[in-house]
Amino acid sequence: MSYPYPNLILYFRGMKTIDWAIFITYLVSIFLVGIWVSKKAKTGLKSYFSADRSIPWWWLGISIIATTFAADTPLAITGITVDKGISGNWFWWSWVATYITVAIFFSKRWHLSGVLTDVELIELRYDGPQAAFLRGFKAFFFGVILNCFILGWVVTAAVKIATPFIDWTQILGTDIYATIESIYPTFLLFKSDLNATLSIMALLILVGIYSSLGGIRGVILTDLFQFAIAMISAIYFAYYAVQAVGGTSGMISSMHDIYGAEKAGHILELVPSFDNTMLPFQLFMIYILIQWWVRYDSDGTGYIAQRINTAKTPEDARNGTLLFSIGFVALRTWPWILVALVSLILFPLDNPGANYPEYAEIIAGDREMAYPLLMKILLPAGLLGLAFTSLMAAFMSTVDTHLNWGASYLVNDIYLRFSDGEKSQEKLIRFSRLMVFLILIIAILVSSQIDSIQNAWKFFITAASGLGVAHLIRWFWWRANAYTEIAAMVSALLATIFVTYIKPDDAGADFETYALLGVTAFNIVSCITVTLMTPPVKSGQLQKFIDRTNPIGLWQGKQGKKDGDTFTHSLMQWIMGLTISYGSLFFIGYILLHRYWAAVLAFVLVVAAVLWLNRNSRLNKLKAHSI
């Protein structure tokens, strides 16, 4: 057996009693939450997968933020910032446009649709056997294939974090550990590391139990705990890290001393300049102009739609999604980026062992490891345990969401939709809990083989990204039909195969991003062509969808209930939402980087956008009451 980071074992396993107390207290607490809400989850399928539509907007928003914070997110952002500077984070900052789009254009409509899962919408929007086929296929593809690949990657990433902190030879004793090592099947090892495998397996079993007991309500409640722990620990960690290099002033001056004025300037840019060699400007333009709307979840498809459908009202759905969209970057970004910048000072690019020579090999091999390394170096007892707990909590938050989400597809869109026989609510709940563990087992198998199948999961995720175009079209254009989405899947698959085939052996890391231009063009042409060559949805089915969701766009003169929500009006709300989210991000960032006039401008824009949205919301309510 070999460890992925053997030298790390020697340096890291030093958590104190208080650190372990914090971690164990957290595990016990979330397990008790699962038991506490299990009675409500037993009442029926809607309670299990949509919490009886009882979730307030702020629970909804915070739970989605927590879910999108995986265990390896701080490590990934550390790697991005080190490689491409602060502006490299536009890779994921651009997704804010996706989420604001969901909040403004789709959140209310998802809630009004009354569906339990997003793929159930297919048979509300389309008609014919092709719609039934599409629903079943997407349920299996998203619920099992894509979902388990994502879970496999999340589990594998957690190994990197768990390995340094937990030593099972000390917990079990050398003899018992050796016995387990001799009988444990090697094909179920994560990264060939039994120690980390035992840690992650224990957490996965716990997640499987509490998420199967409590359903989506239990998942959301534990998300609230996980978010609070994650943010508190991240802020404290960032504070200690920045203080270690002399505060923000010392951090900025050290960056200039180590890297020179030009490169330090590029590292600290929030928006890349034309001459930025770390993030080429054309790559930045692809991020902000294309990448965000070709994602498969461009309309909220997936676990976001599931969370939206747990909201009390359409207004709660909108406000919760808007809270998530703003908090996604404004609340989470800077603690992680500050630690990444400190890592560039304490572990310089050209000499990673300058200050801590014992860690030079580890950092040189994997820059993302600077995050957990700095946790160990800088944080005192108690805070170290809180930080470790936050990363494991983030891991568990992501896993429980994907387990519940995937099970909802298998139960609602395959078993309930295509099987015959008795389907009492009690039987459906038992089957739902069984599906949670089935997906967990498949995810464990995928995780253990991730090194040999990583090209496959990257391929499937890339292919799924082509669905974004079709998912948007179906909400705005009456002519879209089931074949539109089928064409999107096929064209995305063909384009992904072609790009994989022509990719040069010496292609850079951004090859797929540049190829996205051609893939997107091919996907749009394919979708539109196939749509126009196939029969439209029948008028009665189309009117049913319009009556239920009240969409905006081109609907052949058909319309639902008038509520004053036009495309132009929604577009203005979208712009204001983007202003609040990015303005808040820039305001905090410019304060930290001592660019105060820029911070003032960002603050003014945020305030103006908030006032506009608030006034607009009041006017909409008055119009709704008058209609």
pLDDT tens for residues 126-167? 999 999 999 999 999 889 888 888 888 888 778 877 776 778
Please state, in angstroms and rounded to a whole number, the distance separating the CA atoms of residues 167 and 14: 10
Out of 68-82, 94-108, 460-474, 600-614, pick the least confident.
460-474
The dihedral of CA 588, 591, 595, 597: what is its sign?
Answer: positive
For 611, the token pair is 């006032």
pLDDT tens for residues 455-485? 555 666 666 667 888 999 999 999 999 999 9
pLDDT of residue 360: 87
3-state secondary structure 216-266: HHHHHHHHHHHHHHHHHHHHHHHHHHHHHCCHHHHHHHHHHHHHHHHHHHH
At 7, is the pLDDT very low, low, confident or very high (cuts 50, 70, 90)?
very low
Same domain, 34 and 158: yes
The letter for the amino acid at 478 is W
- The separation between CA 350 and the C-alpha centre of its own chain, rounded to angstroms, equals 33
Total of domains in the chain = 2
At 613, is the pLDDT very low, low, confident or very high (cuts 50, 70, 90)?
confident
Q: Is 50 exposed, middle or buried (0-12, 13-18, 19+ CB in 10 A)?
A: buried
Spatial CB neighbours of 621, under 8 Å, sequence gap ≥ 6: none
- The separation between CA 610 and the C-alpha centre of its own chain, rounded to angstroms, equals 26
Please state, in angstroms and rounded to a whole number, the distance separating the CA atoms of residues 530 and 119: 21
Question: Are residues 359 and 353 in contact, defined by beta-carbon separation less than 8 angstroms?
Answer: yes
Q: How many percent of the chain have pLDDT more than 70? A: 92
pLDDT tens for residues 12-37? 455 788 888 998 999 898 888 888 88
Whole-number mean pLDDT of the chain? 87
The dihedral of CA 309, 315, 320, 321: what is its sign?
Answer: positive
pLDDT of 176 higher than 60: yes
pLDDT of 41 higher than 60: yes
Is 479 a member of any domain?
Answer: no
Is 526 a member of any domain?
Answer: no
Mean pLDDT of 267-276: 93
Give the dihedral of Cα atoms 84, 89, 91, 96; nearest 10 deg: -170
Same domain, 445 and 585: no
At 560, is the pLDDT very low, low, confident or very high (cuts 50, 70, 90)?
low
Is 520 a member of any domain?
Answer: no
The dihedral of CA 41, 42, 44, 49: what is its sign?
Answer: positive
Please state, in angstroms and rounded to a whole number, the distance separating the CA atoms of residues 466 and 499: 13
At 348, is the pLDDT very low, low, confident or very high (cuts 50, 70, 90)?
very high
Cα R_g (the chain), whole angstroms: 25
Which of 391, 420, 451 is where one domain is finished? 451
pLDDT of residue 1: 39
User: 362 versus 323: which is more confidently predicted?
Assistant: 323
Which of 451, 486, 503 is where one domain is finished? 451
pLDDT of residue 17: 84
Please state, in angstroms and rounded to a whole number, the distance separating the CA atoms of residues 192 and 170: 19
Spatial CB neighbours of 64, under 8 Å, sequence gap ≥ 6: 303, 304, 307, 320, 321, 324
Beta strands in 318-412 (DSSP E): none
Is 168 a member of any domain?
Answer: yes
Is 71 a member of any domain?
Answer: yes
pLDDT tens for residues 43-78? 788 889 998 899 999 999 999 998 888 877 898 899
pLDDT of residue 6: 42
At 118, is the pLDDT very low, low, confident or very high (cuts 50, 70, 90)?
very high
Is 554 a member of any domain?
Answer: no
Same domain, 570 and 441: no
Is 84 a member of any domain?
Answer: yes
* CATH code for the domain of 389: 1.20.1730.10
For 167, the token pair is 């030593």
Query: Could you say which DSSP state residue 554 is in?
Result: B
Spatial CB neighbours of 21, under 8 Å, sequence gap ≥ 6: 385
pTM of the full predicted structure? 0.90
pLDDT of residue 194: 87
Same domain, 435 and 567: no
pLDDT tens for residues 230-264? 899 999 999 999 999 999 999 999 999 999 999 99
pLDDT of 622 higher than 60: no
Which of 425, 451, 477 is where one domain is finished? 451
Query: Could you say which DSSP state residue 291 is in?
Result: I
Furthest-apart CA pair in the chain: how many Å? 76
- The separation between CA 267 and the C-alpha centre of its own chain, rounded to angstroms, equals 25
* Site of tokens 């309309």: 299
Please state, in angstroms and rounded to a whole number, the distance separating the CA atoms of residues 290 and 193: 40
Q: How many percent of the chain have pLDDT more than 90? A: 48
Best CA proximity match to 45, nearest among 514, 320, 429, 381 = 429
* Site of tokens 């550990």: 177
pLDDT of 623 higher than 60: no
Helices and strands (DSSP H and E) totals, the chain: 33, 0
Question: Angle, nearest 10°, between helix axes 194-244 and 147-165?
Answer: 70
User: 301 versus 152: which is more confidently predicted?
Assistant: 301
Best CA proximity match to 410, nearest among 113, 135, 125, 209 = 135
Q: 524: helix, coil or strand?
A: helix
Same domain, 446 and 590: no
Which whole-number Å values give the CA distances from 43 to 40, 47, 50, 404, 466, in the listed order?
Answer: 6, 6, 12, 16, 38
At 11, is the pLDDT very low, low, confident or very high (cuts 50, 70, 90)?
very low
Is 104 a member of any domain?
Answer: no
pLDDT of residue 457: 52
User: 384 versus 616: which is more confidently predicted?
Assistant: 384
Give the dihedral of Cα atoms 421, 414, 403, 53; nearest 10 deg: -80
Residue numbers of the domain that contains 626: 563-627
Query: Could you say which DSSP state residue 411 is in?
Result: I
pLDDT of residue 619: 58
